[in-house]
């Protein structure tokens, strides 16, 4: 079940526990929150209104495979308070393994839903990640798409590990309610694990390459492709030289992991 860290923040009254409406299912040894995107947004809203804090992680097939090969990444991901299934392959795997996650909660979709809710009620947002140019365009898009949004700061994602503390202090000084971390793995997860508590935001959400999509630098797959779980194939067809190994190799390994786990359960 979800475990949220609660601390006194910004003269907010005593925080109350956030209700865990949904179960957590183990999918290939990763605890994934079995919620819809609507429930995920309500969870975020409850955390902010109660004065709590939460770190949100997301996983897809490639990340689950890489977590098996990289113990440091695995630890950083599991440091998240709640983990959602970012890829349809993870949802399908859950159903094959008998735990049936209700739907995919993609990091970028959850980001948009949080922005939509937050722009109406006055949440403070900080954007971390991407290049300076992409970051600037992303902030412009957010301001245009969500009138009234309170963007209290931003910083590009191309900083060294030695600069991480300065970046974290910059975020802390801005006093955001929500921080979007749009940095690639495993740097994103490591930053969140090390500095997520220090920056003192209510919500820290890892959104990967979402700013590239928001800014128009990278095209997202059409909705029809997303619904049938082939967003990865769309990206592969657009960037085969860069992505063929990531998707074909890791997807094959992911399928093998699911088959092995299914057989293990059948033979118990």
Closest listed residue to residue 28, CA positions, set 92, 97, 102, 103:
97
Burial of 18 (0-12, 13-18, 19+ CB in 10 A): buried
| pLDDT mean over 23-48 | 95
Give the separation between CA 171 and CA 183, rounded to whole angstroms. Answer: 15
Q: What's the pLDDT tens digit per position in 192-225?
A: 999 999 999 999 999 999 999 999 998 888 888 8
Q: Beta strand pairing status for 178-182 and 124-129? A: parallel
Q: Which residue has the higher pLDDT, 46 or 224?
A: 46
Paired strand residues for 219: none
CB 179 within 8 A of CB 201: yes
CB 212 within 8 A of CB 134: yes
Q: What percent of the chain has pLDDT above 70?
A: 92
Q: What is the pTM of this model?
A: 0.88
Distances (CA, A) of 145 to 112, 214, 268: 10, 11, 52
Q: What percent of the chain has pLDDT above 90?
A: 76
Closest listed residue to residue 35, CA positions, set 119, 123, 94, 112:
94
Amino acid 223: pLDDT: 81
Paired strand residues for 55: 204
Q: Residue 186, preceding bond cis, omega within 30 degrees? A: yes
Instruction: Kindly list the domain boundaries of the chain, sorted by start residue.
Output: 5-215
**What residue ranges in the chain does DSSP mark as E strands?**
5-6, 24-27, 30-33, 52-59, 82-85, 124-129, 150-155, 178-182, 203-206
Q: Say yes or no to pLDDT of 238 above 60.
A: yes
Burial of 80 (0-12, 13-18, 19+ CB in 10 A): buried
Q: What's the pLDDT tens digit per position in 145-185?
A: 999 999 999 999 999 999 999 999 999 999 999 999 999 99
| pLDDT mean over 229-252 | 80
């Amino acid at each position: 079940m979800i475990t949220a860290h609660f601390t006194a923040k910004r003269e907010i009254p005593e925080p109350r526990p956030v209700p865990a409406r949904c179960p957590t299912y183990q999918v290939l040894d990763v605890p994934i929150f079995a919620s819809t995107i609507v429930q995920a947004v309500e969870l975020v809203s409850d955390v902010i209104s109660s004065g709590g804090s939460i770190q949100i992680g997301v996983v897809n097939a490639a990340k689950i495979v890489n977590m098996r090969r990289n113990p440091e990444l695995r630890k950083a991901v599991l440091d998240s308070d709640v983990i959602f299934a970012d890829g349809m392959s993870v949802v399908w795997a859950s159903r094959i393994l008998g735990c049936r996650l209700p739907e995919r909660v993609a990091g970028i979709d959850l980001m948009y839903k949080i922005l939509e809710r937050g722009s109406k009620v006055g949440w403070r947002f900080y954007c971390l990640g991407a290049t300076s140019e992409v970051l600037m365009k992303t902030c412009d898009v957010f301001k245009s798409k969500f009138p009234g949004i309170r963007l209290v700061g931003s910083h590009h994602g191309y900083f060294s590990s030695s600069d991480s503390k300065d970046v974290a202090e910059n975020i802390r000084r801005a006093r955001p309610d929500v921080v979007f971390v749009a940095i690639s793995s495993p740097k994103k997860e490591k930053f969140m694990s090390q500095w997520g508590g220090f920056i003192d935001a209510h919500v820290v959400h890892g959104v990967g390459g979402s700013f590239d999509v928001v800014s128009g630098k990278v095209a997202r797959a059409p909705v029809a492709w997303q619904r049938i779980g082939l967003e990865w194939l769309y990206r592969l067809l657009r960037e085969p030289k860069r992505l063929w190994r990531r998707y074909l190799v890791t997807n094959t390994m992911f399928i093998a992991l699911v088959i092995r786990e299914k057989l293990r359960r059948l033979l118990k």
